[in-house]
Structure 1
């Protein structure tokens, strides 16, 4: 393929734009905020599991405490009935029976209240654990929100740079021979880079030094000949810096 030396040199400008666009795309995909957001999301998921377990513990204790309260209330009501019957008087045997039952009910009430107190202490501890994990979830959610805000701000900056670079690429490509741009784009799509400067006898893309028959081939090529590297197949742009 033939192309004017100036057109070949301007390929480097096009490549610079494409390299900048590729770097912006890579930067967008590899923002540290993305890894941070993912890590915090995993942390929140684990904390949510912990919160569910803590909530289940509190709920179970609440049910147990409620059951004890009902049992205690039943004992109190039974005591009140027995006490009224006792106060009303009656046969000695009946009074002795009521006194015995009241003593039994008092012991039962005391046992139930002690057990309820123990459960209430456990619930206090469980509630504190639940509040703690909820606080940690809140802190993690705030960290994630901050990371997402920073990500979005950087996305906006990158998009602005991409728009500027893309706008400058169009006129550059349009001012070059269509067949040269087609070849360049094909190589760039396949390898990530379409053209590179030959500098000090080395291919600017793969950095391999030209020597022997390959060096002779490049030196002998007319200035308007589009030369490609035998190693990486990129277009080699020759200038005064090429050392040929």
Structure 2
């Protein structure tokens, strides 16, 4: 393939633009905020699951407390009824003895129920504190994700600006190259990520390998307008005074 040496040298400008576009794409994929957001969203899910667990336990405990309070009230009502019956003077001695015995039993039962209720209330208080702490952790995790997302969006905005400018530069460069040369460049770029590079001091600027003597001799013997490629990576080698030929 033949191409004007001056046109071949302009491939370095195209390669520079494409390299920056590649860096933009890589940066877009590997922004640290992306990993931070992913980890943060996992933390948010875990914290929310923990909060649901605490809230479920609290709801279950509230029902148990309500049941226990109802039972305490039932015992107290039974006590009140028995006392009023005793105070009425309408019961005989044997029934009085039975009522006194029942009151003792009810007193013990009420004491046990109230002790259980107190323990449940203490558990409820502890769960309430857990819920407050976990809710605060959820809020903190959400805020961290939002902050990382804001930084990501700002970085994306900068990358979008850079990408748009480089694409404009690329669009201006493309008409300078004959179609066969551009097709070759594009094929190598798509395969290797670098389409053209400077041959400097007998070293390929794409793969950074120093060319052997035979290859250098062949390149040196090639016509100035011949398009030569690196035997190792296939990149179009642009020859200048820096090539060491």
Q: Deviations over 1:77-120 (max 9, x none)?
A: 11122122112112111122112212211221111111100111
2:108 aligns to what?
107
Distance in 1, Cα, partners of 2:77 & 2:220: 111
Distance in 2, Cα, partners of 1:171 & 1:223: 25
Distance in 2, Cα, partners of 1:137 & 1:50: 9
- Pairwise CA distance, 1:133: 1.3
Gaps of 5+ in 2: none
> Normalising by the residue count of structure 1, what TM-score does the alignment of the two structures yield?
0.97
1:225 aligns to what?
226
Runs of 4 or more, structure 1, over 3 Å off, are none
Gaps of 5+ in 1: none
Distance in 1, Cα, partners of 2:213 & 2:150: 56
RMSD across aligned positions (CA): 1.1
- Pairwise CA distance, 1:49: 2.8
Distance in 2, Cα, partners of 1:221 & 1:80: 116
1:61 aligns to what?
61
2:130 aligns to what?
129
1:194 aligns to what?
195
Distance in 2, Cα, partners of 1:165 & 1:206: 23
Distance in 2, Cα, partners of 1:202 & 1:145: 48
1:51 aligns to what?
51
Q: Deviations over 1:160-184 (max 9, x none)?
A: 1111110111110112112111110
2:154 aligns to what?
153
- In structure 2, the residue corresponding to 1:63 is in which secondary structure? helix
Distance in 1, Cα, partners of 2:63 & 2:243: 84
Distance in 1, Cα, partners of 2:213 & 2:39: 53
Distance in 2, Cα, partners of 1:226 & 1:7: 11
Deviation larger for 229-238 or 45-54: 45-54
1:171 aligns with 2:172: yes
Alignment of structure 1 residues 80-99 onto 2, 5 Å: 80-89=80-89, 90-99=91-100
Distance in 2, Cα, partners of 1:187 & 1:125: 67
Distance in 2, Cα, partners of 1:211 & 1:13: 27
> Normalising by the residue count of structure 2, what TM-score does the alignment of the two structures yield?
0.96
Distance in 2, Cα, partners of 1:96 & 1:241: 119
